[in-house]
Amino acid sequence: MRSFRLLFCIVLLTTVSCTPKDQKTQESTPTAPVKYSFTIPEIPLMISNPEHQAAFLAEHYWDNFDFTDSVDLELKKVIEEGFVEYLMILAEVDNSKATSGISSLMAKAADNRKLAMYYAGKAEQFLFHPNSPIRNEFLYEEFLKGILVCKKVDDISKARFQSQFDLAQLNKPGTKATDFEYSLKNGSLSSLYETRGKYVMIYFHNPDCHECAAIKDRIINSQIIQSLSEKSELTILAVFPDKDLELWNKHYADFPDNWINAYDKETLIQDKELYDLKAIPTIYLLDSNKTVLLRDPIFEQFEEYLNSL
């Protein structure tokens, strides 16, 4: 586990400043920036274990933050650095502590529509965006729950978050993966549940996308993936979910022979939203019973999980 003592030294006092957009300054009479700050609660001295310190901050990080402050939200944007540190703390504590902390934060923000939307938006940026290095679907779902029950936020503003929440319910870790049929180059059909393997990796991709090519190369060059694949413990099922079969055929030879290189002939996976494919590529890891072990992890997390098996 990362050292929280170092983290705490960084975030014990967060003081930041900015100048509001509507504040006009003249060259002859420059205006000093407006400062906005809040102090991270001190950790009780009797809590010396880093894990317990993290658990304390997960629930008390925002205790000194004024949720009733009417300062323009442009000033509150300067708490972003502290918010990122908070997300990093949440990622290190157990799920119950993280859930409790996020629930408490969103409940406090619920009476201030702009602030509730701000937290939900920042959570979306850091926890949901496909390219975020700290992407975390579990934590983001907890923020979604908070914004969706916020009475100050209208249904139109919630629509995007509701759609994301609905997609988050698909093929969650611990549940049975949704079965689907796929086609092979020789015209034969098979399905996910007919695919054998101690572990099955589903790699949804588009061969014409740069990031897909980069992830494909990382899969090919991953020692743990190749080791498990060579021992027939990991089956790699590459699925092209789009309609452009000419594109799939063009790049067919770019894939290793020991992969199952397939396509969704009827494009049902996307059309019926059988899987959350908000971004391509997307990876799922299943066990032999087709129970989801990992859903769209960051590649480093995927390798780390395989190394732990």
d(CA 135, CA 294): 13
Residues 202, 128 share a domain = no
4-18, 151-165, 204-218, 271-285 — which is least confidently predicted? 4-18
pLDDT(87) > 90: yes
Question: Does residue 176 fall inside a structural domain?
Answer: no
What's the domain range around 205?
A: 181-308
Residues 196, 137 share a domain = no
The helix-helix angle for 80-90 and 95-109 (nearest 10°) equals: 150
Residues 11, 141 share a domain = yes
Which whole number is the average pLDDT over 190-211?
96
Question: Does residue 175 fall inside a structural domain?
Answer: no
The CATH number of the domain holding residue 276 is 3.40.30.10
Q: Which of 139, 168, 197 is the last residue of a domain?
A: 168
* Cβ partners under 8 Å of residue 260, min gap 6: 184, 190, 195, 235, 236, 237, 238
Question: Does residue 173 fall inside a structural domain?
Answer: no
What's the pTM value of the predicted model, to 2 decimals?
0.78
Tokens representing residue 149 in the block? 């029950």
pLDDT digits (tens, 9 = 90+) for 177-192: 999 999 999 999 999 9
pLDDT band at 8 (very low <50, low <70, confident <90, very high): very low
Q: Which of 115, 147, 168 is the last residue of a domain?
A: 168
* Cβ partners under 8 Å of residue 82, min gap 6: 11, 14, 38, 40
β-sheet bridge partners, residue 154: none
Tokens representing residue 49 in the block? 């274990």
Question: Does residue 77 fall inside a structural domain?
Answer: yes
Residues 154, 282 share a domain = no
Question: Does residue 145 fall inside a structural domain?
Answer: yes
Question: Does residue 194 fall inside a structural domain?
Answer: yes
Residues 86, 39 share a domain = yes
Residues 134, 57 share a domain = yes
pLDDT digits (tens, 9 = 90+) for 31-64: 444 455 668 889 999 999 999 999 999 999 999 8
Residues 48, 8 share a domain = yes
Place of tokens 């014990």: 12
Helix (H) or strand (E) holding 204: strand 199-204
pLDDT(75) > 80: no
Q: How many domains does the structure of the chain reveal? A: 2
Residues 123, 35 share a domain = yes
d(CA 120, CA 254): 40
Residues 89, 156 share a domain = yes
Residues 133, 11 share a domain = yes
Place of tokens 């988050």: 168
Residue 48, Cβ neighbours under 10 Å: how many? 10
Q: Which of 105, 134, 168 is the last residue of a domain?
A: 168
Cβ proximity of 41 and 87 under 8 Å: no
Question: Does residue 174 fall inside a structural domain?
Answer: no
3-state SS class at 15? strand
pLDDT(25) > 60: no
